[in-house]
């Protein structure tokens, strides 16, 4: 077999054999297949797609390009929860402790963010002393003790995905559902947990902008996970507006703790309870209704917060933040935005709000950029709220940015208002 034949087959939408896909992935990972030929194949996939059989083969080949973890040293059922990402998405910091408090072991590997907001690892590294770069034996030991741990993904996990994703980013071939699926699922299968729960975000702040796209990706990931022998479920959740009232790394850790303290309900809490209930149901803990009740009790009893506190302690962070969130890093500068008239909040463009947080330092434009852990936005409203003139809308925070003018304009323009002033109603 040779790469030209493989490219031509995909150009003509002729399905590839497993051996051909393995040859392609292995050859590119080792450097035997050059970027320009792999780019041609990726573009053919974007135009013609892949069959389910091809997508499963691609996912497995990418998984097998590096280490596949052996979690047999972890006691009990293991479950991995993954989100496709969004603005203000701190669900892993809440769902993991809830599930662990209900008897499921939750080992998780995450990455740093590239773009308008930080990744889960960036959020955790806002906690002073918290270590995410652990050897596997220590990681597994923490999961056995606390029930939950998150560490940074190692370079030995799915090196093919790392190389292929960088090429997709450079060649305009990111937006392909089979390629997105293979990228996500190869890493999930390499972690090798018994259960995989996928939170597929949909809306302005998500990669999948429409419910149809999100559902296609969710269904495909379920089929790939099942074909690989894993109990897999994908839930589509809304990301049209930021999730919760905070965007930014330390700010999102604070909000996650306050959810586990029982201080915050609303949309963020509801999404996390839904995800936790699905994860517990998949793990055989009962019916969905029973599992939802278990998840709610794990929060109200304080047991989920205890899990997070112990995890932070075992990973070198200060567990006192679970009782006093003011111990988290604080921004040097802040800027409050107030309503210029009486308005109703009609919608919030989550992606634009994320870009405003990037200007403050909450995200990174390239992999070498440093994140300001204190930077971000705190909202004083939810969609549908009526806000009086001069009432606070949001506060911008940063330590590295003292001129808030550009970020403030972008954040304000991300909101769609309905004017409630008397002149507007006459």
Contacts of 99 by beta carbon, 8 Å cutoff, 6+ apart: 79, 81, 106, 147, 148, 276, 279, 280, 283, 295
Residue of 40, 152, 183, 245 marked catalytic: 183
| Segments in 192-325 forming alpha helices (H) | 211-227, 249-260, 266-282, 288-300, 303-314
Dig out the tokens for 378 from the structure: 């705190």
Active-site residue (options: 80, 89, 161, 240): 161
Q: Where are the alpha helices (DSSP H) in 64-158?
A: 92-101, 120-124, 136-146
- d(CA 374, CA 334) in angstroms, rounded, equals 10
Edge-to-edge strand list for the sheet holding 195-202? 79-83, 195-202, 231-238
Contact in structure between 105 and 75 (CB atoms under 8 Å): yes
161 labelled catalytic: yes
Element (H, E) at 181: helix 177-191
89 in helix, strand or coil? coil
Write the DSSP symbol of residue 154: P
- The yes-or-no answer on residue 267 being catalytic is no
User: Helices (H) and strands (E) in the chain — how many of each?
Assistant: 17, 12
User: What does the block give as tokens for 286?
Assistant: 């009962």
Total residues belonging to the chain: 426
- Residue 63 among the catalytic residues: no
**Alpha-carbon distance 218 to 297, whole Å?**
29
CB atoms within 10 A of CB 368: 6
By DSSP bridging, strand 148-152 and strand 106-110 are parallel
- The CB density around residue 139, as the number of other CB atoms within 10 Å, is 21
Q: Let me know if 168 is a catalytic residue.
A: yes
Q: Could you say which of 168, 230, 233, 410 is catalytic?
A: 168
List CB contacts of 389: < 8 A, sequence separation 6 or more: 339, 340, 341, 342, 421
Query: Phi and psi dihedrals of 124, rounded to 5?
Result: -65, -35
Catalytic residue among 81, 187, 188, 201, which? 187
345 phi and psi, to 5 degrees? Answer: -80, 110
- For residue 199, the cross-strand partners are 83, 235
Catalytic entry in 63, 82, 309, 313: 82
Question: Which residue numbers are catalytic?
Answer: 82, 161, 168, 183, 187
């Amino acid at each position: 077999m040779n790469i030209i034949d493989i490219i031509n087959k995909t150009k003509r939408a002729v399905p590839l054999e497993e051996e051909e896909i393995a040859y392609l992935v292995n050859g590119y990972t080792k450097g035997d297949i050059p970027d320009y030929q792999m780019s041609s194949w990726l573009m053919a996939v974007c135009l013609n797609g892949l069959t389910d059989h091809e997508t499963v083969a691609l996912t497995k080949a990418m998984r097998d390009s590096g280490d596949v973890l052996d979690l047999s040293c972890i006691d009990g059922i293991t479950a991995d929860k993954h989100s496709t990402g969004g603005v203000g998405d701190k669900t892993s910091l809440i769902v993991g402790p809830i599930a662990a408090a209900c008897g499921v072991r939750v080992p998780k590997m995450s990455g740093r963010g590239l773009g308008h907001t930080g990744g889960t690892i960036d959020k955790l590294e806002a906690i002073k002393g918290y270590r995410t770069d652990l050897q596997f034996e220590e990681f597994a030991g923490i999961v056995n003790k606390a029930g939950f741990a998150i560490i940074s993904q190692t370079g030995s996990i799915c090196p093919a995905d790392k190389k292929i994703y960088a090429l997709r980013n450079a060649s305009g071939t990111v937006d392909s559902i089979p390629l997105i699926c293979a990228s996500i699922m190869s890493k999930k299968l390499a972690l090798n947990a018994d259960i995989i729960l996928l939170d597929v975000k949909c809306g302005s702040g998500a990669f999948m902008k429409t419910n149809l796209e999100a559902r296609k990706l969710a269904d495909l990931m379920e089929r790939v996970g099942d074909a690989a022998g894993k109990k897999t479920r994908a839930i589509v959740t809304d990301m049209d507006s930021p999730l919760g009232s905070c965007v930014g790394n330390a700010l999102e850790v604070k909000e996650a703790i306050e959810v586990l303290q029982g201080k915050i309900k609303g949309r963020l809490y509801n999404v996390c309870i839904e995800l936790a209930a699905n994860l517990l149901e998949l793990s055989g803990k009962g019916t969905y209704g029973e599992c939802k009740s278990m998840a709610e009790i794990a929060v109200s009893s304080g047991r989920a917060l205890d899990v997070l506190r112990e995890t932070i302690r075992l990973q070198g962070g200060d567990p006192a933040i679970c009782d006093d969130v003011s111990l988290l890093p604080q921004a040097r500068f802040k800027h409050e935005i107030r309503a210029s008239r009486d308005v109703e909040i009609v919608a919030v463009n989550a992606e634009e709000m994320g870009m405003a947080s990037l200007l403050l330092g909450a995200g990174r434009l390239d992999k070498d950029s440093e994140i300001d852990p204190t930077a971000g936005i705190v909202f004083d409203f939810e969609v549908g709220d009526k806000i009086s003139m001069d009432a606070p809308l949001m506060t911008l925070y940063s330590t590295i940015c003292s001129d808030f003018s550009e970020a403030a304009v972008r954040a304000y323009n991300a909101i769609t208002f309905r004017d409630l002033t008397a002149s507007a109603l006459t």
